[in-house]
Amino acid sequence: MDLTIFFSPVDESLYGNISSSSSVFKNINVFGDKMPDYKGAHIALFGVSEERGSIRNAGTASAPDEIRKKLYNLRKGTGAYRIVDLGNLKPGHDLEETYVRISEVCRMLLESNVLPIILGGSHDLDYGQYYAYETLEKLVSFLNVDAFLDLEDKEQGASNQHIHRVLLHEPNYLFSYTHLAYQSYLIDPTSVSILEKLYFEAFRIGQMRTNMQEMEPTIRNADLLSFDITAIRSADAPGNANAQPFGLTGEEACQICWYAGLNEKLSSLGFYEYNPLFDDVHRKTASVIATMIWYFIEGYYHRKNEQNFRSNDFLKYSVSMPVEPEIITFYKSKLSEKWWMEVPYPNGRERYSRNSIVPCSYNDYQAAIRGDVPERYISTLAKLI
C-alpha cells in the first residue's frame, strides 16, 4: 500500500525551530518531504483530522498537530526510539470511509508488528481502531478510558454511541471490554447493568483512586486502549467542550499510559476528543497528552517480554481451594514481580489458550489463600464458557 496516497505530511512549522538533538523530534522519523519506511519501526504515530462524529465537541479535527507541537519538544527517553510519524490521515468522504481507512492503516501496521498510536479526532474513531483486528483471527480485549460510557442511541451522534457499535459488531471477536474512570452522575445506571450482564467491567473514578495499583492487571490484559480526554479533570485538561471538574489527574492519566506501555499484549493506542478551541493559551491539554504519549513510549521500551510461563523466570504457586475449582494456579515473574492466574477453559477447550492465563494482583493470590475465589477468576471463567 502506498501510504502517501492516504496521508498528508507534517507541516514544517511544527518542527522547523527545534534544534536540540535530544528532542523527540530529532529521534523519530517524520513524514516531511518523504514518507518514512514504517517496516522495522516499533511504533507509528498518525493523526486523524476527523470530527464529524462529534455533536458536542466540534473542533477536534485540529488536535493532532497541537499535540505534535508539544510532543516533538519533549526530551527523548530510554530505548531505541524506532518511531515514525506518518502524518495526518486524510478523512474519507463520510465517517464510514474514515473508519475503514483507520482500520486499513492499523491492520497494515499490526501485521508488520508495528504499534499504531492514533491522534484523534472524535472518540468514535476508535471503532476504526477496533475494526483493524477483524482479520487477525484472535479474540481481543478492549480497554476504554472515558468519563462517559458512550452507549447512547444513534440520535446522540457517533461519538456518543460508538461503544454500543463495538459491542454489537459482527463477526464478534471481542473477548472482554473494560471501562475505566466513568463518573456515575454523568451516565445512565442501566448502561453499567448492561455491561455487567455481558460479564464486562466498568470502574468508577472513585474505585480507581482508592487503589490505582489494582488497575494495573486490568490494563495489562488489554490488546487495545482507547483514551477519551474527557476522563481527565478540567483543571488539568480544559481542552474539551465536555470537560468535567472531577476526573483523573494528569499524573494518573500518565500512570495509566505507563502501565499500558509495559503491557506486552497491547498493540494499539488512541487518544481522542482533545479540542484546541477550549484549551488555554499555553495549550495545557496538549502538553498533558504529549506527556502521556511520552510515558507510554517509555513503558514500551521497558517491556520485559514476559510471555513464557514455563520458563525459569516465573515462580508457580498452586493453591488448594475448599470449593470449585479444586486448585487455582498462579504465576509470579521474578523479573517484574507481576502476577498472573490460570483459568482453565471449560471441558478442556483451549481454542484461545492465551486468554486462559490472565493478569492478576498479589491481592488475588491472597484471596485464594483465604479460600475465596478471586473476582477476576469468576469474571474470566464467565467469558470462557
- The Cα–Cα gap between 314 and 90 comes to 46
Q: What single-letter DSSP state applies at residue 236?
A: T
Residue 8 and residue 63 in contact, taking contact as beta carbons nearer than 8 Å: no
Query: What is the spatial distance between Cα 181 and Cα 204, in angstroms, rounded to a whole number?
Result: 5
Please determine, for residue 352, whether its predicted confidence score (pLDDT) is greater than 50.
Answer: no
Could you give the C-alpha distances from 37 to 84, 85, 285, 297, 332, in angstroms and in order? 8, 10, 30, 19, 38
Question: CB–CB of 18/26 below 8 Å?
Answer: yes
pLDDT at residue 355 is higher than 70: no
Q: Which residues pair with 88 in a beta bridge?
A: 8, 47
Q: Is 139 helix (H, G, I), strand (E, B) or coil?
A: coil
CA–CA distances in Å: residue 375 to residues 19, 176, 316: 52, 15, 20
- DSSP structural state of residue 78: S
For 145, 247, 270, 302, 340, the CA distances from 208, given in Å and listed in that order, are: 11, 10, 21, 24, 20
CA dist 71 → 11, 42, 368 (Å): 14, 17, 44
Say if CB 23 and CB 71 are below 8 A apart: no
> Other C-beta atoms within 10 Å of 173: how many?
16
Strand partners, 45: 85, 117
Residues of the chain with pLDDT > 70, as a percent, come to 96
pTM summary value: 0.95
pLDDT band at 156 (very low <50, low <70, confident <90, very high): low
Cβ atoms of 55 and 157 closer than 8 Å:
yes
Phi, psi of 89 (to 5 degrees): -70, 130
Looking at residue 150, its pLDDT comes to: 86
Please identify which residue in the block is written with the cell numbers 492478576. Answer: 360
> How do beta strands 339-342 and 327-333 pair?
antiparallel
**pLDDT, tens only, 241-276:** 999 999 999 999 999 999 999 999 999 999 999 999
For residue 299, cis peptide bond before it (omega within 30 degrees of 0): no
CATH numbers and ranges of domains, the chain: 3-300 (3.40.800.10), 314-384 (no CATH)
Instruction: Classify residue 344 by its DSSP letter.
Output: P
> Which neighbouring-strand residues pair with 225?
143, 269
Write out pLDDT tens, residues 87-120. 999 999 999 999 999 999 999 999 999 999 999 9
Q: Residue 351 — pLDDT band, cuts 50, 70, 90? A: very low
